[in-house]
Copies of this chain bind each other. A is one copy, B any other.
Amino acid sequence: MTSTTSGTRPALNGVDTPTLFATLDAVKASPELAKFQFRATNRWISGTNNRSTIRGFYGAGQEDTSRTEDFTYDADHPAVLVGTGKGPTPVEFLLHAIAACLTAGLANIAAARGITLRRVTSTVEGDIDLLGILGLSDQVRNGYRQIRVRFEVDGDASPEELAALVERSRLRSAVYDVLANGTDVQVDVGTR
């Protein structure tokens, strides 16, 4: 760590650190800019195969127009679960989400702290007993019993400083918070 103040750190790790700090200042001045709404739409295809489309969101006081194309993702069950394997299972996308959220945060935090990263990888495992979702046991929950994320971080700092990046990222992770603590989920239906 150098004596450079956070506000004058240069871009690092592909993070535009000056803009990041300017954004923080802007939100501090106008907290309503921090209100975001993300969205996805999904369409059933056949069997357990379906497809989500992600594009628009609201944030920083307006509808975002920066995305010029849809992101589309298939999900499916594998053959062993009587699906056609045209995509990962829905629960595997949760593992992608937690790894991605922690990694993005880690890169931002490293840049803010002036730490150059060389390589960040992670592996995520989720244990689930399907007796719950198969309706074969009321004693077994439907979801993951446990999710484990293991990071390997290579960068220009001590092992303790690199480990502290992971911990700080966890403490500021939106996906970690939702997966660890849950949130209010409302499901409703219109038929036609």
Which A residues contact B (CB, under 8 angstroms)?
13-16, 19-20, 23-24, 27-28, 31, 34-50, 52, 54, 57, 59-60, 64, 66-67, 71, 73, 75-85, 87-108, 117, 119-137, 140-154, 159, 162-163, 166-167, 170, 172-192
Contact B107 A142 (CB under 8 A): no
Q: Contacts of A159 on B, CB cut-off 8 Å?
A: 191
Q: Contacts of A189 on B, CB cut-off 8 Å?
A: 150-153, 162-163, 166-167
Kindly state the separation between the CA atoms of A96 and B100 in the bound complex, as whole angstroms.
15
Contact A40 B99 (CB under 8 A): yes
How many copies the complex holds: the figure is 2
Contact B54 A71 (CB under 8 A): no
